[in-house]
Structure formats: structure tokens, C-alpha cells
Chains A and B, each alone.
Chain A
Amino acid sequence: MINSSSETILEISDLHASVEDQSILKGVNLRINAGEIHAVMGRNGSGKSTLSKVLAGHPSYKVNKGKVVFLGKDLLSLEPEERSRIGVFLGFQYPVEIPGVSNLEFLRVATNSRRKQLGEEELDTFAFEDLVRSRIKLVQMDPAFLERSVNEGFSGGEKKRNEILQMALLEPVLSILDETDSGLDIDALRIVAAGVNELAKPENAILLITHYQRLLSEITPDFVHVMSSGKIVRTGGCELALELERLGYEWLEEELSSTKQS
């Protein structure tokens, strides 16, 4: 194991970012240690999805200020594929459909690029198929989806399972799951959550980005952060999520503004 349980995996300091000249993140600070599950909650437009895109290196998002250190490396200077290879995984809110590109082939190339980085042997088609067939059980996905094009014609739930399958194959150090619960019925949600729980290990960490509490009743976070207007405005334990669910985001905002005034 590379990391002891107290090791810092990710450290975000004073992160500012914008998209199309519109400033979205306005000073985010966050530290994630090995073995921890974090949840970032917030309303639509609070900047939580932007945070995940910036961490994964989406070209449309511009970092204006701040630092992100991942396992001692300056994350922001790396290309998206380099970030993936060193163990950053983004589970997309809306996984993209790529017609013509075989899902199996895609998974194999992706897995091998990670294995190569880790100094492991690359898998040929046969060895990979064995691997994928063992991991696919975790998300209860029909193997027929391996033969199709990447995400093409998949239902919302199937797309999300495909995301968690990728997570299982890439064995990331940090998994960022962006609104993984959106568009899932309760059964699919349980399957996805079970997969995530299975993959949570003392040496890696998970960052859940979510709007609702319902995912958090399946995956229990160690820390809950609330984002508003591009900043983390409140941090607490999993009880904070329940409170938000009960009282709504207005409650928090009112409370915050009243603290500011006093």
C-alpha cells in the first residue's frame, strides 16, 4: 500500500475557476485524506459540478487562481489523461455517448493506460475479458453492454453502472462521483452505491458530489461540505446532510447571512 491512513491525497487551496469568462469557483479549500469519504452538497449552480470538472481537467474550465495538490503533484499542470493515469477518476453526471467505439475496447485501452502507469503488465484481449467479466458482477451489468458502443443507447442507469465499472477497473486513488444518483431509480441507486462501497478502501478516497441526501443514506460520508456561490460555506459530519434534507438550503443560507450580519 502506498498510503498510510493519515496521508493526504488531495489538497485544494483557494481555488478560483471560470467558464466562458463567468467566474464560478471563488476560493475553494478542501483536504481529503486516505480512507475518507467526502460529500459536497449544494444547490444547482453552486459550483459543485464545476469543481469536479476542474479537478479532472476539462478544457472549457479555466483556473484563475489557487492550487491543487494530488499525492504531492501539482494536479492542475497535468493533461486529463495524465490525471486519470495517476489515479484521479471522475464519474460523469452525463456520461458521453461515443458511437462506433466499442465499449470493451475503450475499457481495455483505459485500463491498460492505468496499469502501464502503475508499472503493471498490460492485459491482452483475453486476460482483459476475464478481468472485466469478474468486475462487471459488482455493478450487475449485462455483459451484452460490453459489445456495444461506449454508452450509446444506454439508459441513465446503465450509463451510471458503466461509470462504476470503469472505476472498478481503473482502481483510482481518488474517485469523484458527480451526481451519480441523478436519474436513478431506487434499485439502480442501491446497486451503484453497493459498488462504490465495495470499492472504498483504506488507501483511497471518494468525493461525492450530490444535490440530495438520498445517495448519502446508501454511502455514509465522513465529511459533508456545503457549497454556495463557489465556496464551501459549511463543513460537518453526515448529520449535516440530514439537516439540509429536512430544512432545505434556504435554512443554511439564512443562517449564514444572519451570522454575517451579527
Chain B
Amino acid sequence: MSGLKKNLALLSRVELRMISPSVNWINSLPAPEGLLESFQLRGRQSLQLAGLPASSDEDWRFSDLERIKLLFKLPLASRASKFSGFSEQQLPPSSSSDTVRFVVRPGMDSQSLPKGFSYISSNELNRFLGNAIDHSAANDDWSVALNNACAGRVLALRVNGTDLPSLEMVLDNAAGELAATRIVLVLEPKTHLDLQHIVLGNSDSSHSHLLEIYLGKEASLNHGWLALGGGDATCVADLVIQQDLRSEYALTSVQAGWTLSRLHQHVVQLNGFAKTILRGLQCTKAHEEITTNSTVRFDGPEGCLEQLNKAVAIDSSHSIFMGNIDVPRVAQRTNASQLSRNLLLSNKARVDTKPQLTIVADDVKCSHGATVTQLQEEELFYMQSRGIGSIDATQLLLKGYCQDIIKYLQFNDDRSNIIDQLIGRL
């Protein structure tokens, strides 16, 4: 958890220089400037000191550390970059008018916002920028340091109201470059919002994303995270969520197609009485490696967590789930359940799962479960006995398995081809 600190303590500087291929890359970054200047300085310093994550770092112990180097192979995308990954054909704007779309790129201009949405002024932003990170364990995260080091701009939105259009953010990629985005989203009390993030990595590109989301009292956010990669694409993202009293945060994340993808969710329920729902699906094939790492901390009483993470691994791929639940003494009457379900469909594939529960409060209900299995033979047999061929039967079963998570993504019918694509891949 304390990746940077641990690395700093354990390694002498001499060793560091030797293991850190990132120095040249860091030097190639544009000079620190603007609103994020202090973050850029800090991030670069951390990266230089810490080097790459080590296998002794609990957060990375299952990962193939060599792949991280892929991130450093690519130059940072800029205003001048050619963003080619996203095309309107591939992802047509929603036909309904009640969706606001942002295509997030380094050079993006402000667009006019509908009622209920506003940009957060740079003065005010200081209240939010980095605050949620400081209040969670994310501060020690290597991927947070990476984003700090290279993100040049921040998209900061405030949302207020209930009958709002849903918000869609496409995090675009530039071929042969690393796209770094930083987003701050503030939901005022009692606000309800549907939010979709779409991360595309169609070509040899890298992604580093860092989102801080603040949910005011009784606010609710229905959050979709669809990350579809391709080729040699890599993606590391941190979602840092701070929930106030009686707020509700529901995340549905789907990751597929990345050589390296890592989604780290940090949720802190500040004053208790809040609800968090985390649903995840990760599908890996070929040599892909996908990780979901979640940390949920209850800093007040009567919090609730429902978590279900599903994985399908085929070929020589590797699927990793780490789920931390932290219930300190103040968090009486917490009710948390976590389930990790994994389908391992090939002998060369690997699944690692590690729930981690730390519980001090005594009046709590916490349960967790994990299974690693293959498709149920009886189910397959049942379908086959009704004349369905084994390949079709497998597809049907897999579709059902994935649909359990995917159905929570808020897509209109005209987008459903994305989901078919996803399952078709397997």
C-alpha cells in the first residue's frame, strides 16, 4: 500500500538509479507549469526516487513488472498530438439528447455546459485538487505519482441538481503516445448523476488517468468505466472517491484488451451512513494482464459496501484482483460484502485473487468470498443436450456471466455493439 515510502526506505539511492529506466523519460517531459505545477514537480521527484514498483510491494506482487516499462517507452501526448483512437463511427454520440459528451484531450477547449454543470474556477479548485488523494491511501500509489508527473491540465466540473443529463467522458488515445488526464468532479449535496467513462486504446498507446470524485451529502453517482484496449496498449488509472453522509456511489467497471491495465479504486466513506457498490468485470486473453485493486475505508458508522468482481481469463493471460476492506473502530455497524468470481478457461492462464480485510470495530457484518472455477459442466451439458454446440454453449454461458456486470453500464441500444464486441473477443 505504501509503495513509495517502502521503496524509499528499502532502497539506497545507488540502487535506485540503476533500476530506474524512467530518468530519461522524466527529463523528456515538458517543464512543470500551470495549475498542476506543484503536482508535476512532486510526481517527478517521487518517480525518480522510487523507480519502478518492486515485487516486494504488496500492490504489485502479482504483476509482471516488465510491462510497466511499456509506459515509459512512449512520449507524452500534447496539444499537437494526433488523436486517432476515437472515431465517431466507432462510437457514435448517443442519439438521445440527454447525454453530454466530453472528449478529453490535452488540447481540448471548454465547451458550453448545460444547466446543472459548471467548471470549477482555479481559485476554488485548490480546495479539491489532491484533497481526496491525501485522505486516502492513494497518496503512496505509484500510478498516482506517474499521473502527477505528467498530467498537464485538469478538467474540473461541479454538478448540482437531480434531473440532469447524463455525462459521458471519452478518454481518447494518441497512437504511439501516453495520454495523461486528470479530472476532478464535485457532486453537490443531493445531486444525482449518471456518468460514463470510456477509455479507448486502439493502438500502441498508453494511458494514465487520475480522477477525484467528491460526493456531497445524499448525492448519488452511477458511474460506468469501460476500458477497451487493443494492440500493445496499456492503461493505469486511479479512481479516488470521497463520500459524505448518506451518499451513494455505484461503479461498474469493465476492462478488456490491454497488455497492461490496472484500475485502482480508492473509496473513503468520510462520515459513515454511505453506500458503495463496486461491480467489476475483467476479460483477458492472449498475453494480457488486467488488475483491479480496490480499497474501501469506512471512516464512520453504518457504512455499506456491496462488491462483486468477475474475471474471465483465457489463453496465457493473467487476471488479478485485490480487494482491501478497512473497518476501523469508528465504523460500527458496517455492512460489507465482497465476492470475487473467476473463470479460468485455459491451462496457461493465471488468476490471482487476494481479499484483505482489516476489521477493528466489533459490531459489523463483513463477508467475503472468492472462487476460481471453470464453466459448470452440467450447464454446458444441459445446453448441449438441447442441441447447442459446445462452442455456442460456451459463448452463451460466458455472455450470461459477463452480462451480470455489463447490464449495469448505462448504454442505449445503439451502443450495445460495444458489449457484443467485448464478448465476441473471447
Question: Are chains A and B touching directly in their complex (CB below 8 angstroms)?
Answer: no
